[in-house]
Amino acid sequence: MGNSESVVTPWEVRGEVDYRELIERFGVEPLTERIVNRLKVHAGGLHLLLRRGMFFAHREFDEWMDSYERGVKVILYTGRGPSGNTHLGHLIPWLFTKYLQDTFKCELYFQVTDDEKFLFNPELTTEQVAEFTKENLLDIIAVGFDPERTKIFTNLSYSKPLYNMAVRVAKHVTFSTAKATFGFSESSNIGMIFFPAMQAAPCFIHQYLKSEDAHVLIPCAIDQEPYWRISRDVAPKMGYRKPAGIYSKFIPGLGSGGKMSASLPDTAIFLSDTTKEATRKVKNAFTGGQPTIREQKEKGGNPDVCVVYSYLYSLFDEDDKAVSETYESCKGGGLVCGDCKERLAEKVGKFLEEHRRRREAARETVNKYLLRE
Ligand code: TRP
């Protein structure tokens, strides 16, 4: 079992990811129907990303809901590394975080790791990272987080409180643990080695700033999990609750195999793409179709490997009946790939248009969200 070819670290995701195997490897729990239904009671409905299995694993999410039900203060924490333009894959945890914030009416701490991207990418200058940060902030705000309850900060501009917390974390983490967890080596720069303490810091920043007990939940993609292993280890040593987590899969790129990646721009849909660009990318996407229309009609397509179908299923088609009809019809040869591509392109276009509008409006509100020293 498992797939020894796949690599999943905070800096690299490669190969065909076997999520069941990843649950074992990372020591997280599968999101069971029981837990999902518990969330449903609070939310009054289930987010598409849950219904379609994009969020698949967790750590003590049920304990976090216990805390909420018992009146313990609950908090959300997520983040973004500003290494380039935002694409659809980045958006997934943010959309889900908004749903959780709306459901539990809780505060959200949103970390932008400008330090990380500078330290880890030999090519990037601080100026370039600052430019990405400015642009990415608009995408984050466009998601529609509650301005009264959301605090966004960048590590290089909100350093004092973060550094104060990070040194407390760092004191409990040995180099040998950092090496084993993140694969650092003798040639890693020393900023990289300290950085995990900076990403752990927001797990405890509310408690530190407000001097009150709180239970933190981190919605994010599964590749960030190693950070939370460290954070959970140090939490009790510092007198804090361990942060809980809820984890998503990656969305595939539009090509065959691999997750959506900014380094493969033709197979990624950027939030800055025009409708025309996005449509072109969708039209070139990898599908489960047969080489000719005749064969497609005779033999049917294979939606199980089709990227276009997976986007409709995981992200863009809310209608349960419509997606299952698409699936059956494709298999039976009743659909050709052009039909599905058109449907997806239209939905993507609409989504991007909406996003652009909200993103422009965000220019006026960005200061309301930003934490400064
Ligand atoms: N390291 C993350 C990235 O490169 C950014 C990040 C910081 C983050 N804190 C987080 C992501 C908390 C999810 C949750 O994208």
- Helix (H) or strand (E) segment spanning residue 135: helix 126-142
Handedness of CA 216, 252, 37, 94 (dihedral sign): positive
SS3 198: helix
Q: Using alpha carbons only, how large is the chain's radius of gyration in Å?
A: 21
Beta carbon of 78 within 6 Å of any ligand 1 atom: yes
Please report the atom of ligand 1 found closest to the CA of residue 83.
4
Residues 298-328 have pLDDT tens digits of 999 999 999 999 999 999 999 999 999 999 9
Least confident of 57-66, 123-132, 249-258, 352-361: 249-258
Instruction: Please tell me the distance from the alpha carbon of residue 63 to that of residue 130, in angstroms, as a whole number.
Output: 38
Beta carbon of 113 within 6 Å of any ligand 1 atom: yes
In a domain, 367, yes or no: no
Q: Are residues 344 and 211 in the same domain?
A: no
Q: Are residues 126 and 212 in the same domain?
A: yes
Beta carbon of 91 within 6 Å of any ligand 1 atom: no
Q: Are residues 341 and 218 in the same domain?
A: no
The encoded tokens of residue 135 equal: 């642009």
Residue whose CA lies nearest to ligand 1 atom number 3: 81
Q: Are residues 41 and 149 in the same domain?
A: yes
Please report the atom of ligand 1 found closest to the CA of residue 202.
9
Beta carbon of 116 within 6 Å of any ligand 1 atom: yes
Q: Are residues 100 and 172 in the same domain?
A: yes
Beta carbon of 79 within 6 Å of any ligand 1 atom: yes
219 Cβ contact partners less than 8 Å away, ≥ 6 residues apart: 55, 76, 78, 93, 96, 97, 100, 245, 246, 247, 248
pTM for the model = 0.96
Q: From 219, 220, 235, select the one nearest 104 (Cα to Cα).
A: 219
For residue 72, the number of C-alpha atoms closer than 13 Å in the C-beta half-sphere is 16
Length of the chain: 373
Strands 244-248 and 215-221: parallel
Q: Are residues 178 and 315 in the same domain?
A: no
Q: Are residues 166 and 198 in the same domain?
A: yes
The CA distances from residue 272 to 135, 196, 260, 277, 298, in Å, are 10, 30, 15, 10, 40
Range of the domain at 90: 7-250
Residues 152-202 have pLDDT tens digits of 999 999 999 999 999 999 999 999 999 999 999 999 999 999 999 999 999
Total domain count, the chain? 2
Instruction: Please tell me the distance from the alpha carbon of residue 119 to that of residue 98, in angstroms, as a whole number.
Output: 29
Q: Are residues 209 and 330 in the same domain?
A: no
Beta carbon of 76 within 6 Å of any ligand 1 atom: no
Q: How far is the CA of 80 from the centre of ligand 1 (A)?
A: 5
Residue whose CA lies nearest to ligand 1 atom number 11: 79
Q: What is the CATH number of the domain that holds 316?
A: 1.10.240.10
Q: Tell whether the model's pLDDT for residue 1 goes beyond 70.
A: no
Q: Are residues 239 and 276 in the same domain?
A: no
Strands 215-221 and 150-154: unpaired
pLDDT, position 4 = 54
